[in-house]
């Protein structure tokens, strides 16, 4: 009975038991460590191909009154993109599989874990992976001379926030997918985000009508935040970026939890 009474008071959303989903995923991925190796090399490929390649063609870029190399400009954008892709792919593809194909969550609902714990647990997992990849990305940035300042370490929490935002939105989105065919829709959203978020070139180069749309892109918010952190150019606008990503993530999580309940415990 002690074990029963000792049950932790619920957080406002989910409980500490959500960490068991993280534990479960780590156990399931123990045999699939090559996935992580590829995640480690991905940023290096990004930086080498786009950063070094275009660096020579483009030369320097003027941002916020300072002149930096194109590599230093584009690296935070790549970092944001990689966090977006990681967060979305992980929560959409893997969670869809667990939710509707392998039905991993059904037995979990027969334990003290709640639907909210499951949703939150998957977010922890995305953040863990996001933090791992971000760390390797930031190390690569430093080694390749693409880090704008020592403040680049703050890109780690910034990237984790980005992962949070996209993982939660992805989690909500995946509950609306009916079959694998619907995944094409994910690309339709993901690609323009990637191309039109001031990741490759500064916002000032966009025509003004497009720029006013671009600023609403979550990837722009993240790229601008990470760029500011990497260069050590702090401003109050960063608070807007942070709030934007955080609120969007929370909304995604709330929708995801509602949808999870409808699917798993109707």
Q: Which residues bind other proteins (CB under 8 A)?
A: 1, 3-4, 7, 15, 17, 20, 23-24, 27-28, 31, 102-104, 106-114, 265-266
Q: What is the DSSP letter of 91?
A: I
Q: What are phi and psi of 200, to 5 degrees?
A: -95, -30
In the complex with other proteins, the residue whose CB is nearer, 109 or 215, is: 109
In the complex with other proteins, the residue whose CB is nearer, 105 or 166, is: 105
The residues, ordered by sequence, that sit 6+ positions from 248 with a Cβ below 8 Å of its Cβ are 165, 168, 169, 218
Q: What is the DSSP letter of 13?
A: S
Place of tokens 């978020």: 197
Q: What are phi and psi of 124, to 5 degrees?
A: -55, -45
Q: How far is the CB of 93 from other proteins (least distance, A)?
A: 16
In the complex with other proteins, the residue whose CB is nearer, 28 or 205, is: 28
In the complex with other proteins, the residue whose CB is nearer, 28 or 239, is: 28
In the complex with other proteins, the residue whose CB is nearer, 28 or 210, is: 28
Q: How far is the CB of 37 from other proteins (least distance, A)?
A: 19
Q: How far is the CB of 250 from other proteins (least distance, A)?
A: 23
Place of tokens 């969007």: 248
Report the sign of the C-alpha dihedral through residues 239, 173, 40, 59, in that order.
negative
CA distance 111 to 238: 41
Nearest to 146 by CA among 230, 63, 212: 230
Q: How far is the CB of 105 from other proteins (least distance, A)?
A: 9
The residues that bridge with 67 in the sheet, in sequence order, are 62
In the complex with other proteins, the residue whose CB is nearer, 114 or 122, is: 114
Q: How far is the CB of 123 from other proteins (least distance, A)?
A: 18
Nearest to 168 by CA among 99, 241, 251: 251
Q: At 16, list the tokens.
A: 């500490």
Q: How far is the CB of 68 from other proteins (least distance, A)?
A: 46
């Amino acid at each position: 009975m002690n074990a029963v009474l000792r049950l932790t008071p619920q957080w406002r959303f989910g409980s500490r038991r959500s960490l068991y989903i993280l534990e479960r995923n780590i156990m399931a991925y123990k045999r699939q460590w090559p996935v992580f190796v590829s995640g480690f090399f991905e940023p290096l490929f990004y930086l080498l191909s786009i950063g070094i390649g275009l660096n020579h063609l483009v030369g320097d870029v003027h941002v916020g009154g300072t002149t930096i190399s194109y590599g230093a400009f584009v690296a935070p954008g790549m970092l944001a993109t990689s966090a977006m892709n990681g967060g979305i792919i992980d929560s959409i593809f893997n969670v869809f599989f667990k939710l509707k194909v392998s039905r991993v969550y059904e037995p979990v609902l027969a334990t003290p874990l709640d639907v909210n714990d499951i949703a939150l647990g998957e977010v922890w997992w995305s953040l863990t992976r996001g933090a791992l990849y971000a760390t390797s990305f930031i190390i690569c940035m430093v080694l390749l001379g693409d880090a704008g300042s020592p403040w680049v370490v703050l890109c780690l929490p910034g990237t984790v926030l980005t992962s949070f935002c996209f993982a939660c939105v992805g989690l909500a989105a995946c509950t609306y997918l009916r079959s694998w065919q619907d995944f094409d829709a994910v690309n339709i959203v993901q690609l323009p985000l990637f191309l039109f978020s001031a990741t490759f070139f500064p916002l000032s180069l966009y025509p003004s009508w497009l720029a006013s749309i671009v600023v609403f892109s979550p990837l722009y918010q993240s790229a601008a935040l990470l760029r500011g952190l990497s260069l050590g150019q702090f401003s109050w606008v960063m608070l807007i970026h942070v709030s934007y990503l955080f609120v969007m993530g929370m909304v995604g999580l709330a929708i995801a939890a509602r949808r999870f309940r409808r699917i798993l415990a109707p």
